[in-house]
Amino acid sequence: MKKCIPILILLLVSAGLWAALQEVEKNVSFFTLSNGLKVIVYEDHMSPVFSAVTYANVGSVDEVVGITGLAHIFEHMAFKGTSTIGTKDYEKEKAAMEKEEAAFVALKAEKARGYLADAAKIKQYEETMQAAQDEAKQYVVSNEFSQIVEREGAEGLNANTNFDQTQYLYSFPSNKLELWAYMESERFLDPVLREFHTEKKVIAEERRMGVESQPVGRMMEEFLGLAYKAHPYGVDVVGHMSDILNMSRDQAIKFFRDHYTSENMVLSLAGDVYPDQAKILLEKYFGRLPRRPAPAPVTTVEPPQLGERSEVIKDPSQPILIMGFHKGSFNDPDNPVFSAITDVMGTGRTSRLYKRLVRDEKLALDAGSFSGGLGGEKYPGIFLFYAVPMQGKTNADCEKAILEEIEKMKTQPVTTEELLRVKTRAKGDFIRGLQSDQGMAEQLAFFEEIAGSWKALFTQLDKIEKVTGDDIQRVAKGTFTEANRTVVTLEHEEGGTK
């Protein structure tokens, strides 16, 4: 048995942090199942529980025109059960779903005729589709997947989709490892995508509430579309409303088969788990997934920006400014430098933007910056500055101050105190991210897929430690240029843009 060091101890051994990290790393095991599915296990036997992450290396970046939002839709579908979970009579339910899909395809084709569409046919297809939905609903056992695992002690059952990946996560008592392996593998071995067209309405409402009815949501969507002209990061994860409503169940099934492959997924478990035991159980259950290679990565490259892009949105809400600059991916050698710039410029009350815009000049209610928080990290992304003007101040006031602070970063080296604070905070953030089994499982999976190896997790602090003031000036000069800048402002106007 490996000796397990509780993560909390790291907080008590700052002087020996590197040695402590090496000890933690020793408690990580990695193996590959016979079908190519990768598994990471972190042992921590302090409590009889474990956290698990099923990490699918697929997100909205893998979508194409016409199916935006599909990665998020499938995340919802993964909770709908299988041919044996969530149904009273699958054969009858399946027949009804097939009727529903046929009616939907016909309805979509007729609507696509535009002004030439036959209203009577549209009504007929809609009625046929609704009747099939009602028929299928008779056989559905709602939320049975969730009910089973939660009844057996699961906690934190959840999932999330972003630009780069989709994660399914929850925690279980350690004596339920086999149940987790069975239930989790079943929903990727045998997804039936029940209630597909009904759930699309739920997702459409999510979009209305989170994007279309929210000034910041609309603003962020506009920013992405303006900053990206070619790369799929330019489309919000939730997708376009027309794509959501026009998506077919058959398209979702194809997307699943193309992207949820054994070689495009990682299982990450952290807690009271023994790797040898886990390997046997995971091979038994997840080894059933057919071996299929991972799909090719996105090859579209965002072309260099040739000049500043800007847009003004009128809205009867609080003014906001966002300013972004194209930067490299997570694996870019300068990514640690951008993390340092984020800290110096826009993290917390000690940051330059907060002290000038909020504390000293009272220009803004809030101001800051972040790297990798908007868009994805697998491919080149965006470094973002933002400000929320104080009453009586304007977005222009804030923009002028931010640009002046950017110029100072280019011409004046960061102080020794600032650089020390960057590195101290990085250590603290790193440690906090690993304090829970859930955090450990998520981090290991992320680094395995995005950085190429889970081991890269344990080299992050070393990379931050090597960042110099000269690095910050160099990167600031090369990145924060007028031609590389995209600015979107939300200006207050009663009855403005809806």
| 434, two tokens | 């690993």
How many other CB atoms are there within 10 angstroms of residue 371's CB atom? 24
- For the cut 60, the answer to whether the pLDDT of residue 393 exceeds it is yes
Minimal CA–CA distance to 410: which of 345, 343, 334?
Answer: 345
**Three-class SS state of 249:** helix
- For the cut 80, the answer to whether the pLDDT of residue 11 exceeds it is no
The 10s digit of each residue's pLDDT in 194-215 is 999 999 999 999 999 999 999 9
- For the cut 60, the answer to whether the pLDDT of residue 491 exceeds it is yes
For residue 448, how many C-alpha atoms fall within 13 Å in the half-sphere facing its CB?
A: 28
Contact 79, 159 (CB under 8 A): yes
Residue 394 to residues 175, 223, 387, 492, Cα–Cα distance (Å): 58, 19, 10, 10
Minimal CA–CA distance to 277: which of 158, 177, 165, 407?
Answer: 177
- For the cut 50, the answer to whether the pLDDT of residue 366 exceeds it is yes
The pLDDT score that the predictor gives to residue 24 is 85
Minimal CA–CA distance to 403: which of 343, 355, 357, 372?
Answer: 357
The 10s digit of each residue's pLDDT in 170-198 is 999 999 999 999 999 999 999 999 999 99
- Proportion of the chain above pLDDT 70, given as a percent: 95
> Which range among 240-249, 296-305, 365-374, 480-489 shows the weakest confidence by mean pLDDT?
365-374
Segment (H or E) for 260: none
- Measured between alpha carbons, how far is 374 from 216 in angstroms, rounded to an integer? 13
The pLDDT score that the predictor gives to residue 375 is 78
The 10s digit of each residue's pLDDT in 48-57 is 999 999 999 9
Task: Sort strands 485-492 and 309-315 into parallel, antiparallel or unpaired.
Answer: parallel
The pLDDT score that the predictor gives to residue 9 is 45
Residue 271, φ and ψ in degrees, nearest 5: 130, -145
- For the cut 50, the answer to whether the pLDDT of residue 149 exceeds it is yes
Residue 396 to residues 321, 322, 405, 467, Cα–Cα distance (Å): 9, 11, 14, 32
Residue 328 to residues 316, 409, 475, Cα–Cα distance (Å): 35, 19, 11
pLDDT, averaged across the chain: 93
Minimal CA–CA distance to 485: which of 231, 303, 222, 306?
Answer: 306
- For the cut 90, the answer to whether the pLDDT of residue 430 exceeds it is no
- For the cut 70, the answer to whether the pLDDT of residue 31 exceeds it is yes
**Three-class SS state of 311:** strand
- Measured between alpha carbons, how far is 446 from 326 in angstroms, rounded to an integer? 22
- Measured between alpha carbons, how far is 489 from 498 in angstroms, rounded to an integer? 15
154 Cβ partners below 8 Å, 6+ apart?
170, 171, 172, 176, 180
- For the cut 80, the answer to whether the pLDDT of residue 6 exceeds it is no
Q: What would the mean pLDDT of 117-135 be, rounded to a whole number? A: 97
The pLDDT score that the predictor gives to residue 495 is 66
The pLDDT score that the predictor gives to residue 395 is 98
The string over 431-445, giving b where at least 16 C-beta atoms fall within 10 Å of a residue's C-beta and e elsewhere, is: beebebbbebbbbbb
- For the cut 60, the answer to whether the pLDDT of residue 5 exceeds it is no
- Measured between alpha carbons, how far is 77 from 259 in angstroms, rounded to an integer? 15
- Measured between alpha carbons, how far is 137 from 307 in angstroms, rounded to an integer? 54
Contact 219, 490 (CB under 8 A): yes
Confidence bin at 15 (pLDDT 50/70/90): very low
- Measured between alpha carbons, how far is 70 from 239 in angstroms, rounded to an integer? 8
How many other CB atoms are there within 10 angstroms of residue 287's CB atom? 17
Task: Sort strands 166-173 and 485-492 into parallel, antiparallel or unpaired.
Answer: unpaired
Determine the CATH number of domain 309-492: 3.30.830.10
| 467, two tokens | 């960042």
- Measured between alpha carbons, how far is 275 from 281 in angstroms, rounded to an integer? 10
If phi over 0 gives left and psi between -120 and 50 gives alpha, with beta otherwise, what is residue 153? Answer: left
| Domain regions of the chain by residue span | 52-87+140-288, 309-492
- Measured between alpha carbons, how far is 214 from 207 in angstroms, rounded to an integer? 10
- For the cut 90, the answer to whether the pLDDT of residue 123 exceeds it is yes
- For the cut 80, the answer to whether the pLDDT of residue 374 exceeds it is no
The pLDDT score that the predictor gives to residue 111 is 96
- For the cut 60, the answer to whether the pLDDT of residue 315 exceeds it is yes
- Proportion of the chain above pLDDT 90, given as a percent: 88
Q: What is the largest CA-CA distance in the chain?
A: 76
Contact 396, 466 (CB under 8 A): no
Residue 311, judged by CB atoms within 10 A of its CB (0-12, 13-18, 19+), counts as: middle
The pLDDT score that the predictor gives to residue 373 is 66
52-87+140-288 to CATH, choices 3.40.50.1580, 3.30.830.10, 3.40.50.720, 1.10.1270.20: 3.30.830.10
- Measured between alpha carbons, how far is 497 from 312 in angstroms, rounded to an integer? 10
**Three-class SS state of 163:** coil
The 10s digit of each residue's pLDDT in 77-88 is 999 999 999 999
Q: Do domains 52-87+140-288 and 309-492 have the same CATH topology?
A: yes
